[in-house]
Chains A and B, each alone.
Chain A
Amino acid sequence: MISKLDLQTNTQQVLSDPESIKTLLKDEVEIIPEVCTWLGRLKLLHGVPFNYLVPDERMLPPESIRFFYLDINWVDALIDGAYSIGRNLTQNRSANQSDRNTDEATLEMAHIQLSRHASQLRAGQMGQPDPGADLETVTGFLLRSRAVSECPGIGVYAYANLQDTPEKNQANPSKIKVMPILRLERLGSHSEVLICLLAGDAYRVDIHEALENLHYGIDGYDLTDGKISNAKKGVRSFTRDSHNKVTLDKSEMQVDISACFRHPDSGDGRTVNVKKLVDTLGGQLGKKDFDSAQLGFEMTEGVGMVKFVKE
């Protein structure tokens, strides 16, 4: 027969040792999705007040960029704090430590699930596959600059080492390896601080202008008595393949567009006669169906980019 005492002794024995709890649970613990999502986001520091990230304002002055390694111990402490709800908090060794032991047995499994969740959080929002990051090494940067608020869509490319960069793989672009981004967002909707967390140890970070925000510009002009002269714009011829993919020609040709402005006698000298500009550029490039989209990429100036390399 089993006596009540047997059961009590047995239970106490199991609960006194996290390892035996683990053996019994056999990694079969599945965290419920709501909890997993919440803790997974916490693992990427979602919801952590800014002054816990940057405890002193002098650490991140205006117009600065600061690179960092994510201290995984700090994150573990944060997660354990959140996970500790309902745990009996006492240092007394003789006291009932079963909550703590159960937590210890499940925490390791939980961390694996949380990391998996955190790894695919950003990718999942964009319908992309999980990059499969283990979150053991996470690096990143904080960027505080007016560029963040003026240009909400700036692009970030990070490389783990020199061999992965586009420069090293010009012959074989498929070998270029961009590090997965775990989190990239502004800290607050109107904030000028951007946080970026990368899966792995970044060697180089490239930041470039947002492509949707590229502006129209011309190369230069002279303005005398309200009349524009010597206005130049470099344009590139292009070819279009069967998938409508456009390839720009390498050589740029200078087109004089001084005649594409209104005459100061009738209009305003700085105002572009857009229709005439379209006809001029289209004529130079030998394109009949020159439309707003083509004007778009001919008038757009190059994408500005800045590289930050770890010394």
Chain B
Amino acid sequence: MNDKNIFSEEVSFIQHHLPGLDAGSYQLTIEQEVNDNTGQSISGSDIPKRTYQFAVKGDRFRLKAPGNVLYSVFPAANASGEFTTVLPHVVFSKKTFPWIRYPNKTEPDFKKKMVAGKSVDEDIPTWLGILLLDEEDVANHPSLKLSPETVKINDLFPDGSLGNNISYFYQNPKNKDLEYGETLDDLIQVIDIPLELFWKIAPSLDDLNFLAHARQVSLINKPSLPGISDQGEPVGDFSIVFGNRFPQTGVKSYVFLVSLEELEEYLPTADGTPNASVAGDKGKSIRLAVLKSWSFYSTGETATFVDTLMALNGQSADAKTPPTVSTLQVSSQSTDPSVNDPLKMGYVPFNHQLRTGESTVSWYRGPLAPYAIPKARVKFPVTSPDQATFFDPNTGMFDVSYSAAWTLGRLLALQDKAFSAGLYKWKKETSDHLLALIEDSLIREKFEDILNTESQLESLQVNQGSLSTGDLYSKVIQLVLNGTIQKK
């Protein structure tokens, strides 16, 4: 274990990635004004305006395609281990995701927040919150349920099941101001949290400034990630949002990734007390859209990434001896070397139905062998898979590894029509090309002296170098017909 040797890999911590346009509806108006040389407008109102409506779509109350946005969560779902000193987090593969909306009451002017010449930008709060709840909270607030409930978007309004409680549209509940692509019947997941509890545990607006950041990392030594590491770039951008509450030992913790969009007024102050303007709502609950929820268990025993890897191959964490098996092989209890040796070499016995109708048992080993295999055990191409089958006269058993591989290759190729057609076409072209070359070489051989006679070819305005075989052939035939060429 060592944490200081990751020399070539660096991680960039980035304060935020703001989107070019926040999610929402926009209107674009184009006007034209023509002025004379004194600057007086002469176009009047005659030139028509054009107005365009467009919307920037972004997830709001649910993740439409979680796989494209959500990258990983920590602690992992259903994990158990020592998590009392860590804050839960969610990583997103979209770098702007934590900032596509805002928790502020009205849209903040992001442009004003970019201060030129300052070493860092102003802090921008994220619209996402990670709330950690457990059974103790339920004991104190019996109305709390620890699993999200599925409702319709309409239930975020007082005339839905929300009733008297609070949700996103508290500023103007009459105006059902949905975004492009949303309907009141869309199903979403929500959690109702008593405001008294929410104020104690939810982040303040100032806290939200610091609970998200972005990271840029190298992808060179990572598993291929569809949509991330096939973009022609060796680095990838991720964003990350943290929770603000530590889990307890010995209880199950439930984590909810919720939207805090425009809830500024209901967010608590720094010490967990409500804003004076909304303190009167104390008895009510707040309904929050849940974008992701999971749970984990903090046991007090360490279960880090390193612990998991150290325990591989059945090793105990403090083991000093290497594991007995670290290659692909089936262990055996047999004492018979004719069984044991092949098993150690990575072979597996399989029932084998012979072409002649008999059945036997044959050895198979995949491409991932326990030791280095010298090249050229078989010479390819073969005319049939039988040519790649080995027979061991001592045991009377076949080794069908390579014939199985050959047959698999053939089946995979036949399965893919585009490939098999492409391969066949290319082979045909190669073969035609080969026949043309044979003909060409024959002609060159037989009529060597003529082809070398520059004058004769010149008289026919033939340039030997640029002739294709077909041309060459027709020219020669022409020469023969003309009587220029006599048989040797």
Contacts and interface: CB of A to CB of B under 8 A. Distances in A.
Contact of B438 (A14, A59, A69, A209): A14
A31 B429 CA distance: 11
B327 A68 contact: yes
Given A11-B435, A45-B367, A90-B383, A32 B271 contact: no
A211 B217 contact: yes
Contacts of A65: 309, 312-313, 326
Interface of A: 1-2, 6-7, 10-11, 14-15, 21, 24-25, 29, 31-32, 34-35, 38, 42, 45, 47-49, 52-56, 58-61, 63-91, 97, 100, 102-104, 106-107, 122, 125-128, 136-137, 140, 142-143, 145-147, 149-157, 166-167, 173, 176, 178, 181, 183-186, 189, 194, 201, 206-221, 223, 262-263, 266-268, 270-278, 289, 291-297, 299, 301-307, 311
Given A73-B402, A77-B378, A212 B215 contact: yes
Contacts of B21: none
A91 B328 contact: no
Contact of B366 (A14, A54, A126, A262): A54
B1 interface: yes
Given A65-B313, A262-B271, A262-B272, A291 B120 contact: yes
B423 interface: yes
Contacts of A178: 8, 221
Residue of B306, B388, B443 contacting most chain A CB atoms (<10 Å):
B306
A78 B408 contact: yes
B372 A268 contact: no
A206 B211 CA distance: 31
B240 A212 contact: yes
Contacts of B416: 38
Nearest to B429: A32
A81 B408 contact: yes
A73 B87 contact: no
B311 A289 contact: no
Contacts of B172: none
Given A85-B413, A89-B383, A102 B244 contact: no
Given A68-B369, A194-B223, A275-B270, A216 B87 contact: yes
Contact of B426 (A35, A42, A122): A35
Contact of A215 (B87, B310, B380, B420): B87
Nearest to B331: A58
Contact of A77 (B67, B231, B402): B402
A150 B308 CA distance: 11
B123 A291 contact: yes
Nearest to A20: B438
B424 interface: yes
Nearest to B211: A274
Contacts of A122: 224
A211 B91 CA distance: 11
Contacts of B413: 81-85
A294 B435 CA distance: 70
Contacts of B313: 63-65
Contact of B306 (A11, A21, A85, A306): A306
Interface in B424-448: 424-428, 430-431, 433-435, 437-439, 441-443, 446
B458 to A, nearest CB: 23
A52 B404 contact: yes
A71 B383 contact: no
A263 B271 contact: yes
A83 B209 contact: no
B272 A271 contact: yes
Nearest to B425: A32
B29 interface: no
Contacts of B422: 32, 34-35, 38
A55 B270 CA distance: 59
B402 A146 contact: no
B180 interface: no
Contact of A306 (B207, B209, B309, B385): B309
B347 to A, nearest CB: 9
B271 A213 contact: no
A305 B223 CA distance: 16
Contact of A272 (B87, B220, B480): B87
Nearest to A206: B5
16 contacts: A47-B412, A58-B331, A63-B314, A68-B369, A75-B367, A77-B403, A84-B406, A85-B420, A125-B224, A127-B234, A142-B368, A145-B312, A206-B5, A207-B309, A211-B215, A305-B1
Interface in B303-354: 304-306, 308-314, 322, 326-331, 346, 348, 350
B382 A80 contact: yes
A253 to B, nearest CB: 18
Contacts of A103: 381, 427
Given A81-B408, A211-B9, A305-B5, 16 more contacts: A25-B437, A34-B419, A45-B367, A58-B330, A59-B329, A71-B366, A91-B387, A127-B232, A143-B312, A156-B222, A209-B306, A263-B272, A267-B200, A296-B240, A301-B86, A304-B1
Given A145-B308, A272-B245, A218 B410 contact: no
A7 B272 contact: no
B74 interface: yes
B327 A66 contact: yes
Given A267-B201, A267-B272, A302-B3, A217 B15 contact: no
Contact of A307 (B2, B200, B220, B372): B2
Nearest to A147: B308
B343 to A, nearest CB: 10
Given A80-B382, A291-B123, A297-B13, A152 B365 contact: no
A6 B245 CA distance: 90
B139 interface: no
A211 B402 contact: no
B418 interface: yes
Contacts of B37: none
A71 B365 CA distance: 10
Nearest to B405: A77
Contact of B378 (A73, A167, A176): A73
Given A89-B384, A136-B375, A178-B8, A55 B350 contact: yes
B286 interface: no
Contacts of A292: 15-16, 123, 209-213
Contact of A154 (B222, B369, B386): B222
A128 B218 CA distance: 12
Interface string B452-471: 00000000000000000000
Contacts of B443: 2
Interface in B71-130: 71-72, 74, 76, 79, 85-87, 89, 91, 118-121, 123
A142 B3 contact: no
A49 to B, nearest CB: 8
B94 to A, nearest CB: 13
A183 B437 CA distance: 40
